[in-house]
Amino acid sequence: MSHTRRVPVRHALRHRSYQWLVDVDDLPRLPPWLRPLAAFAASDHLDGGASGGGIRGDLAAFLAGHGVRIEQADRVLMLANARVLGHVFDPLTVFWVQAPDGTARAVVFEVHNTYSERYAYLLDLDRHGHARTDKSFYVSPFNDVSGRYEIRLRLDPERVNVTVGLERDGVRVLTATSSGVPEPATYRALVRVSITHLLMPQRVSALIRMHGIWLWLRRLPIGKRPAPAKQARL
């Protein structure tokens, strides 16, 4: 995981991390002694389970509002952080809706901020996995909601890559990248990453605040937080 801010203050960071790539219809079923290390809940995503159909139901309702239908045979993959010891913070969740032949029917970005708010973007990917979308959601006190996201995605058995760049007035403000090699989520693998990446969601929350303090000390201007972005309830 890397994050590079270019203007008006240059700041770069890189941290080792892990995420889960799961089928929302076949979430991990762990023995009781491992459940505190990885839990998934509809309440952590989209409309919090309001549809009654779990994560898939909320995603289907969101897409239906944009004229996209999830078919029964479609597979929904989610790249996200899991709850660890009851805590989760997921700056970005990515949903891929795949038709039975593997083609992407829809891709949705769900952005979370540190104010317990979230916002979903329906992406229009080209055949190279690139997309653009206007920024509509307040994420950081150091950036307002102006600008456009430039997005590049890769999802295959060899690598999962998510790159998001924020551009404003033709200038690249920052670039964030998460890249990794998928591996089976065996019990042994879960224990290993839980030890080597101790309390991953808690670390993500702490690191965001730590780097925010660093930028504040560098006198990076802080913008006024706007009212939460309006997104139709599902």
pLDDT tens digit sequence for 12-58: 878 888 999 999 999 999 999 999 999 999 999 999 999 999 999 99
* Burial degree of 186 (CB within 10 A; 0-12, 13-18, 19+): exposed
Global pTM reads 0.90
Q: For residue 228, what are the contacts with CB-CB under 8 A and spacing of at least 6?
A: 117, 138
CA distance 175 to 157: 24
Q: How far is CA 50 from CA 54, 148, 170, 233, in A?
A: 8, 30, 39, 9
pLDDT tens digit sequence for 62-101: 999 999 999 999 999 999 999 999 999 889 999 999 999 9
* Residue 156 per-residue DSSP state: S
